[in-house]
């Protein structure tokens, strides 16, 4: 996909300072401070209910922290435009696959002709060109998630957030989605994704942010994290999943 | 018993023969109710979308009022519009009382809250699914509302037709503001009421059959459209 060339990352690093998030008195994120830099694929790993998705929504700007600050140092206002997010369950608009992509581009202020070209380009890149005119909602789960990736990719984001992007997919579709994430990363887009799947974290991650009970328990390069986890929680989490691998 | 049998035969003959008096009444009914539904949809559906998407002070109470207005008694709407349009009323200068325009106005007031309340409900469900995705793509409240309206178009058809059913079937409001003037403001429901009390059953029965037929037909159509759309668009 040549058309959405990603420019040098002008948004990162993303700096979280003592970020907490509570809802109805229940603390979900508890004092997270971290700096996320351009380059490596960052995987936010942790058990279900650890607060991974909430942390990601805070970073993306869908939620506001109860306390602490989230700043994009590369940009004065951390524009939403330059980042995109793919959700666990893709939300497809009731229109064609192509129109779903054009919709996102229209919101980003892309002109009509350019929308058409980019939509076809990106559909081809994710292998959905043959179903471009099919209603998006009748596509299979795997196709829908690839379409969701395409919709985000078409925007040429500097940062792409992915929230458990393969949690609802079968192994074949998971492989396709993972390979696309690799391609998007290769194009220069910073990948930040959550998963609770250790295999996926190993395959797709360069660095791991391990979240447990709303706190950042550990941050490490992926090899180091899996071979010699520094925190007891991480060690237990890795071990806990080993027997089922 | 015989009277009723005769009434049925005559009624069917009136329909079959496209009796001019009957067709004129049916035509006026359709014109008034369709106009009212079009106007009510223009007000009610955007209002419903705004209530589904927007978060503003007074939203909750507006929702409660809209829900309550769904059960508005037609005669009360008729009375209020009558007071507005009567010579001494604030809109008396328009000279609209006892015209089809007044009937359109009354039915619009009757139907718009129904559309607003029902569409608010349907769109709020859709919004729960769409909200994060649309906000992530950078859609503001206005854009989100328009997207929801378009994406829920097939559910909204049902809501619009429910409004049409209500408008076409009500008698109290149009009776008061239209005055049931022969050839001017006489519609199906008011004619049925009048002819029945006069004992002229065939015309009342003929109109009744048509009215039920229209309501049935409209609902069948709504179902067909919705099913076809669901199969096609998922």
| Interval A23-44: pLDDT, tens | 999 999 999 999 999 999 999 9
**Cross-chain CB nearest to A91 (options B130, B143, B150):** B130
CB contact under 8 A, A104 and B135: no
| Residue B234 pLDDT class (50, 70, 90 cuts) | confident
- State the DSSP string of B63-115: HHHHHHHTT--HHHHHHHHHHHHSTTSTTGGG--TTSHHHHHHHHHHHHHHHH
Q: Does B223 touch chain A (CB under 8 A)?
A: no
Higher pLDDT pick, B190 / A74: B190
CB contact under 8 A, B143 and A87: no
Q: Does A134 touch chain B (CB under 8 A)?
A: no
CB contact under 8 A, A107 and B139: yes
**Cross-chain CB nearest to A108 (options B138, B143, B150):** B138
Higher pLDDT pick, A92 / B162: A92
Query: Whats the size of chain A, residue-wise?
Result: 245
Token reading at B137: 């793509």
**Residues in B touching A104 (Cβ below 8 Å):** 137
pLDDT single digits (tens) A48-65: 889 999 999 999 999 999
Q: What is the pLDDT of residue B159?
A: 92
Q: Please tell me the least confidently modeled range out of A50-54, A77-81, A146-150, B15-19.
A: A77-81
Above 50 in pLDDT, residue B76?
yes
Contacts of B210 (CB under 8 A, 6+ apart): B15, B22, B26, B188
Report the relative pairing of strands A190-195 and A67-72 from DSSP bridges: unpaired
**Cross-chain CB nearest to A85 (options B130, B136, B143):** B136
Give the gyration radius of chain A's Cα atoms.
18
Contacts of B19 (CB under 8 A, 6+ apart): B206
Helix (H) or strand (E) holding A232: helix A232-241
What's the pTM value of the predicted model, to 2 decimals? 0.87
Q: Do B13 and B194 touch, CB atoms closer than 8 A?
A: no
Cis bond upstream, residue A229 (ω within 30):
no
pLDDT single digits (tens) B82-113: 999 999 999 999 999 999 999 999 999 999 99
| Residue A3 pLDDT class (50, 70, 90 cuts) | very low
Q: How many CB contacts within 8 angstroms connect chain A with chain B? A: 48
Q: What is the Cα–Cα distance from A87 to A100, expressed in whole angstroms?
A: 15
CB contact under 8 A, B136 and A81: no
Token reading at A70: 């989230």
Q: What is the Cα–Cα distance from A79 to A60, expressed in whole angstroms?
A: 10
Closest to A6 in 3D by CA, of A61, A82, A60, A73: A82
How far does B147 lie from chain A, in Å, by closest CA?
Answer: 9
Report the relative pairing of strands A215-221 and A207-212 from DSSP bridges: antiparallel
Long-range contacts of A97-101 (CB under 8 A, 24+ apart): A97/A123, A97/A128, A97/A131, A97/A132, A97/A133, A97/A134, A97/A135, A97/A136, A97/A139, A97/A147, A98/A123, A98/A132, A98/A133, A99/A136, A100/A136, A100/A147, A100/A151, A101/A147, A101/A150, A101/A151, A101/A154
Q: Does B55 touch chain A (CB under 8 A)?
A: no
Contacts of A190 (CB under 8 A, 6+ apart): A9, A12, A36, A38, A39, A41, A42, A158, A159, A160
């Amino acid at each position: 996909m040549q058309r959405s060339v990603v420019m040098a990352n002008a948004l990162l690093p993303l700096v979280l300072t003592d970020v907490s998030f509570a809802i109805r008195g229940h603390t979900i994120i508890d004092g997270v401070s971290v700096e996320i830099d351009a380059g490596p694929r960052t995987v936010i790993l942790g058990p279900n209910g650890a607060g991974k998705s909430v942390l990601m929504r805070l970073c993306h700007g869908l939620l506001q922290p109860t306390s602490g600050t989230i700043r994009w140092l590369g940009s004065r206002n951390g524009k939403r435009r330059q980042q995109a997010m793919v959700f666990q369950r893709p939300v497809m608009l009731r229109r064609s696959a192509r129109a779903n992509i054009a919709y996102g581009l229209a919101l980003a202020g892309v002109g009509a002709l350019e929308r058409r070209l980019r939509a076809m380009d990106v559909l081809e890149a994710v292998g959905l060109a043959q179903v471009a005119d099919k209603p998006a909602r009748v596509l299979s789960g795997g196709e829908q998630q690839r379409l969701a990736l395409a919709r985000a990719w078409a925007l040429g984001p500097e940062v792409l957030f992915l929230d458990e992007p393969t949690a609802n997919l079968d192994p074949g579709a998971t492989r396709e989605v993972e390979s696309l994430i690799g391609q998007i990363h290769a194009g220069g887009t910073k990948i930040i994704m959550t998963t609770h799947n250790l295999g996926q974290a190993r395959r797709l991650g360069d660095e791991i942010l391990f979240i447990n009970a709303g706190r950042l328990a550990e941050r490490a390069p992926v090899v180091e994290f899996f071979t010699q986890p520094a925190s007891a929680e991480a060690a237990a989490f890795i071990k806990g999943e080993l027997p089922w691998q | 018993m015989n009277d009723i049998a005769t009434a049925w035969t005559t009624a069917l003959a009136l329909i079959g023969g496209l009796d001019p008096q009957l067709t004129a009444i049916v035509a006026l009914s359709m014109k008034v109710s369709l106009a009212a539904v079009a106007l009510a949809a223009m007000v009610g559906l955007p209002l419903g979308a705004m209530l589904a998407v927007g978060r503003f002070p007074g939203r909750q109470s507006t929702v409660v009022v809209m829900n309550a207005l769904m059960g508005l008694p037609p005669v009360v709407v008729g009375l209020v519009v009558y007071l507005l349009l009567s010579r001494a009323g604030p809109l008396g200068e328009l000279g609209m009382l006892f015209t089809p325009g007044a009937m359109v106005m009354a039915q619009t007031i009757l139907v718009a809250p129904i559309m607003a309340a029902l569409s608010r409900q349907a769109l709020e469900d859709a919004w729960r699914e769409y909200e994060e995705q649309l906000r992530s793509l950078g859609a503001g409240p206005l854009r989100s509302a328009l997207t929801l309206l378009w994406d829920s178009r097939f559910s909204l058809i049902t809501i619009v037709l429910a409004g049409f059913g209500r408008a076409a079937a009500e008698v109290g409001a149009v009776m008061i503001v239209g005055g049931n003037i022969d050839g001017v403001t006489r519609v199906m429901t008011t004619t049925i009421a009048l002819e029945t009390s006069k004992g002229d059953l065939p015309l009342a029965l003929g109109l009744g059959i048509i009215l039920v037929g229209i309501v049935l037909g409209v609902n069948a159509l709504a179902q067909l459209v919705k099913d076809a759309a669901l199969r096609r668009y998922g």
